[in-house]
């Protein structure tokens, strides 16, 4: 509060994130560190052990997937186009509480959601003269789906069947979108996981592990110092 009027909103925000990182015994030196702290806040994490769980899940992402998440959560909506994902904390909390989802699977699906939202935003904005730097995306339907999902395979393959729809916008209002999970996903939310689904998940998990190891061995990702 003391910094209001003497510091930029961005510097105040990231200073707060740095303090939260210290409370979680997390590193706060690089852009990657700060995005992990922000994800921990989104996930309502309070302890270092919870943060370690998040960091382990983060390492299961490919480098390009990590970069997609970093670009998304570092954008400020002023100099860079940004999206506010409404109900994302609820999505993350439900994922952590749901044994059929979990943190790793949620992060992998989050990458797909980010790509889908960014693509839809570009499509809707293509014909507009003025494009807002900041938009909101309502994830309430996805939060409910994440809580209800009874099948890891159905959850991890849900994004292609989701739809991003633009809400009516009055003059002066922020541009809003809503993510509709659609009946194609909801109709299968309670479906029992079959042997074929388990095999598909196992193959995908093994493939991802091999790719992550190959990336790590080929060229470690450069650490961008956060400023």
pTM beyond cutoff 0.95 = no
- Report whether 73 contacts 35 (CB < 8 A): yes
How far apart are alpha carbons 71 and 137 in whole angstroms?
17
C-beta neighbour count of 163 within 10 angstroms: 12
pLDDT tens for the chain, 227 residues long, are: 565 666 677 788 888 899 999 999 999 999 999 999 999 999 999 999 999 999 999 999 999 999 999 999 998 777 777 889 999 999 999 999 999 999 999 999 999 999 999 998 888 776 665 667 788 999 999 999 999 999 999 999 999 999 999 887 777 677 889 999 999 999 999 999 999 999 999 998 898 889 888 888 886 665 666 65
How far apart are alpha carbons 125 and 128 in whole angstroms?
5
Q: Is 46 exposed, middle or buried (0-12, 13-18, 19+ CB in 10 A)?
A: exposed
């Amino acid at each position: 509060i003391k910094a209001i009027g003497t510091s930029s909103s961005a510097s105040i925000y990231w200073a707060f994130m740095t303090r939260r990182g210290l409370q979680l015994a997390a590193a706060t030196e690089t852009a990657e560190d700060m995005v992990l702290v922000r994800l921990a806040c989104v996930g309502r994490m309070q302890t270092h052990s919870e943060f370690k769980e998040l960091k382990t899940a983060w390492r299961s992402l490919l480098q390009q997937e990590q970069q997609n998440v970093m670009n998304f959560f570092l954008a400020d909506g002023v100099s860079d186009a940004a999206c506010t994902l409404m109900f994302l904390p609820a999505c993350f909390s439900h994922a952590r509480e749901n044994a059929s989802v979990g943190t790793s699977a949620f992060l992998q699906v989050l990458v797909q959601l980010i790509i889908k939202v960014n693509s839809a935003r570009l499509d809707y904005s293509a014909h507009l003269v003025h494009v807002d730097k900041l938009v909101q995306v309502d994830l309430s339907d996805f939060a409910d789906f994440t809580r209800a999902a009874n099948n890891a395979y159905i959850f991890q393959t849900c994004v292609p069947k989701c739809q991003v729809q633009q809400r009516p916008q009055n003059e002066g209002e922020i541009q809003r979108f809503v993510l509709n999970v659609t009946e194609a996903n909801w109709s299968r939310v309670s479906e029992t996981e079959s042997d074929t689904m388990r095999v598909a998940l196992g193959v995908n998990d093994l493939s991802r592990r091999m790719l992550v190891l190959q990336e790590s061995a080929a060229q470690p990702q450069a650490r961008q110092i956060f400023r």
